[in-house]
Structure 1
Amino acid sequence: MQMGKRIVIAGGGTGGHIFPAIAIANALKKLDPTVEILFIGARGKMEMEKVPQAGYQIEGLDIAGFNRSSLIKNISLPFKLVKSFFQVRSIFKRFRPDAAIGVGGYSSFPVLRLAQQKGIPTYLHESNSFAGKSNQLLGKNATRIFVATDGMEKFFPAEKILVTGNPVRANIVNSTVSREEAISFFGLDPAKTTILSIGGSLGAKSINEAVEAGLPMLEQNGLQLVWQTGKPFAERGKQAARGKTGFWVDEFISQMDYAYAAADIIISRAGAMAIAEICVVKKPAVLVPYPFAAEDHQTINAGRLVEKGAALMVKDAAAKTDLVNTVVALAKNEAQQQELKNKIASLAVTNADEVIAKNII
């Protein structure tokens, strides 16, 4: 009898890479419970905490990405890259993988590069409409490349591409949490319109500053708020909301299914995974693309939805003046909320993880 397949999943850095990776791992396990899965990430990054929480083993590499803002910090890069190749080599010796999956983020590069050198099948998942550097370099020799949107032939060999959409966490796809349960979970008032503000797993400074400045306006208009600030802004956000009712503030929301169920309107960055989740939960959204994402891909992501009438967009530079005004106006316009819901619902993909897992198995 054949023993279970052994698969490594590499990458991370942000929730946008980690959560789809975990969704793919869960789908592989569901399809073939004998599969053994090992994650490989970057030491000190978010995956080292989130992956074990999801019940998987992870090994950390001493690796860092190219620092665009401070060139001096890149001096040690070649050494870290060489060191990480040795680390990957010894992980492969122990684990002997049958396949490697890369989800983007710089820790995926040495893992998939070594797998390709050894002739081990490699699979890539590209969540954005603009392919990341690691994935572009690895694409030529990949076995299969799973992408979120069409039009990716400019980055990858056309015959290797499969359009699957983005894998959304199962607890969000299958959520049965009612609005009432969710509202009481955050200690809020079911009669009030609820705004959910999420800046991605690491927080979003411009969104946070706009929300902070707009708290009095939200309060005057009878709106309540679930506000995920990210670590850097957490203290300041809590300070700003002190003594006010109807504002729930924390650095990270681990029960995102509750947050989405509570929300009537969502404020979010326009990362591919954030958008995939908003499509699945079918909520009206005001997107504030992060302007410094590689090749400004978040603005491209958000623009696609705006063209389809499926979301509103406020440019990052205008967030401070326009974001809360836009949200308040939308909160008062139920017809527009309904219209956005209908349009965004038609873009939801709920089985990307299964499609990817079947192709890999």
Structure 2
Amino acid sequence: MNNYKFIISGGGTGGHIYPAIAIANELKARHPDAEFLFVGASDRMEMEKVPQAGYEIEGLWISGIQRKLTLKNLLFPFKLISSLWKATKIVNRVKPDVVIGTGGFASGPLLRVASGKGIPCVLQEQNSYPGITNRLLAGKARKICVAYDGLERFFPAEKIVKTGNPVRQDLLDVRTKRVEALEFFQLQPGKKVLLVLGGSLGARAINELVKKHLSLFREKDVQVLWQCGKLYYEEFEKYTDNTIRVHAFINQMALAYAAADVVISRAGAGSVSELSIVGKPVIFIPSPHVAEDHQTRNALAVTEKNAAVLIREKDLDSNFEKEFTALIASEERQRELGENIRKLALPDATGDIADEIEKCIRKEK
């Protein structure tokens, strides 16, 4: 048994943090005696989420560059120097066998330092349009694990391995849990269920859309399982009744997917990967407020294969009712979208990423 040392860096958003934790869990299962250290940005959510998952984390004083002139931008050179200095101390102290980056500001200084010392580095890119940190680090990485085709535009082709994004393993058998799911959420069998997801914090545009169309859903005899987000729960919980179930956050996501006939969702990389595995018809409403509009690009990569419906926020008023009504009325269309999105699933992603990490280590030995 090998006593490997892993440093993993990724954060800023759940889309970078949860894949990092999933990769760590897979490596820990394979190498129980291995040592793990996460490195994140000192003021971001990874400083809370990683310890909750049972791992040690150290923070760097780092952030991105704002698009307009701000105090943060003036501080950026000092933050970068500070982060490179601390990253050097961490790498020298830990002496890792490999460093893994899943995106986010903190992974930049860390992987820059590690690669400069000849330590093998592996990147995991969740999106169809890579973040700036991973694009800058690509030349230094040994392997780049991706979830979409066509990333040769951004990364050296010889380094790319299409693995998919890490997802929760309990999603693999949701089709057997329909009865349990309906009972758990107190939904009626025999009626369609619409699952609405706007992310853990919620999405104003999606919540307003659902509120506006509650009468349409009742008219179509559709039950709604609505994760409105903790920022909006006090505002929208009053709409709960015997067919509308409003939740701040749904912890039992496997059961939520099992209950759903149709899903409305943002198009973050993790959501797209999960929805591909569960194989349900989806209406994607990408957030227009994310870097490089990457959610729209993620959704387009699916809809171009006739595997989902895409409605941009600016088109909701004109298109939503027509698109939803057509989808909910057609069992054939629902089945077609579900089957097509399932073809895009890569359920072994976490294990395949761990395989690539182990290959990098073995080459060094």
Structure 1 position 118, deviation (Å): 2.0
| Mapped pair 1:360 → 2:348 | no
- Which whole-Å CA distance do the structure 1 matches of 2:75 and 2:233 have between them? 31
| Mapped pair 1:128 → 2:127 | yes
- Which whole-Å CA distance do the structure 2 matches of 1:18 and 1:49 have between them? 11
Instruction: Find the counterpart in structure 2 of residue 258 from structure 1.
Output: 255
| Mapped pair 1:341 → 2:338 | yes
Instruction: Find the counterpart in structure 2 of residue 304 from structure 1.
Output: 301
Q: Let me know the Cα RMSD of the aligned residues.
A: 2.2
Secondary structure at the residue paired with 1:76? Answer: helix
- Which whole-Å CA distance do the structure 2 matches of 1:253 and 1:46 have between them? 19
Question: For residues 63-102 of structure 1, what are the structure 2 equivalents within 5 Å?
Answer: 63-68=62-67, 71-102=70-101
- Which whole-Å CA distance do the structure 2 matches of 1:33 and 1:234 have between them? 40
- Which whole-Å CA distance do the structure 1 matches of 2:208 and 2:17 have between them? 26
Secondary structure at the residue paired with 2:296? Answer: helix
Residues 39, 296 of structure 1: alpha-carbon distance in 2 compared, 3 angstrom cutoff: same
Instruction: Find the counterpart in structure 2 of residue 278 from structure 1.
Output: 275
Question: For residues 16-165 of structure 1, what are the structure 2 equivalents within 5 Å?
Answer: 16-68=15-67, 71-165=70-164
Secondary structure at the residue paired with 1:140? Answer: helix
Structure 1 position 273, deviation (Å): 1.7
Secondary structure at the residue paired with 1:343? Answer: helix
- Which whole-Å CA distance do the structure 1 matches of 2:81 and 2:153 have between them? 30
Unmatched segments (≥5 aa) in structure 2: 359-365
Secondary structure at the residue paired with 2:352? Answer: helix
- Which whole-Å CA distance do the structure 1 matches of 2:72 and 2:244 have between them? 39
Residues 110, 281 of structure 1: alpha-carbon distance in 2 compared, 3 angstrom cutoff: same
TM-score after normalising by structure 2:
0.90
Instruction: Find the counterpart in structure 1 of residue 312 from structure 2.
Output: 315
Bigger mean CA offset, 71-80 vs 95-104: 71-80
| Mapped pair 1:351 → 2:348 | yes
Q: Which amino acid aligns with 1:14?
A: T
Q: Which amino acid aligns with 1:139?
A: A
Structure 1 position 72, deviation (Å): 4.5
Contact 1:136 1:155 in 2 (8 A): yes
Structure 1 position 292, deviation (Å): 3.4
Bigger mean CA offset, 258-267 vs 17-26: 17-26
Q: Which amino acid aligns with 2:128?
A: S
Secondary structure at the residue paired with 1:248? Answer: strand
Contact 1:24 1:357 in 2 (8 A): yes
Instruction: Find the counterpart in structure 2 of residue 294 from structure 1.
Output: 291
Bigger mean CA offset, 3-12 vs 65-74: 65-74
Bigger mean CA offset, 89-98 vs 223-232: 89-98
Secondary structure at the residue paired with 2:49? Answer: helix
* Count of aligned residue pairs for this structure pair: 358
For residues 289-320 of structure 1, what are the alpha-carbon distances to aligned partners after superposition, in whole Å with 9 as ceiling and x for unaligned?
22233333322222222222111111111224
Contact 2:2 2:31 in 1 (8 A): no
Structure 1 position 175, deviation (Å): 5.1
- Which whole-Å CA distance do the structure 1 matches of 2:23 and 2:233 have between them? 31
Bigger mean CA offset, 2-11 vs 271-280: 2-11
- Which whole-Å CA distance do the structure 2 matches of 1:198 and 1:219 have between them? 19
- Which whole-Å CA distance do the structure 2 matches of 1:65 and 1:248 have between them? 38
Q: Which amino acid aligns with 1:42?
A: A
Percent identity between the aligned chains? 47
Q: Which amino acid aligns with 1:357?
A: A
Bigger mean CA offset, 216-225 vs 118-127: 216-225
Secondary structure at the residue paired with 1:40? Answer: strand
- Which whole-Å CA distance do the structure 2 matches of 1:176 and 1:303 have between them? 26
Unmatched segments (≥5 aa) in structure 1: none
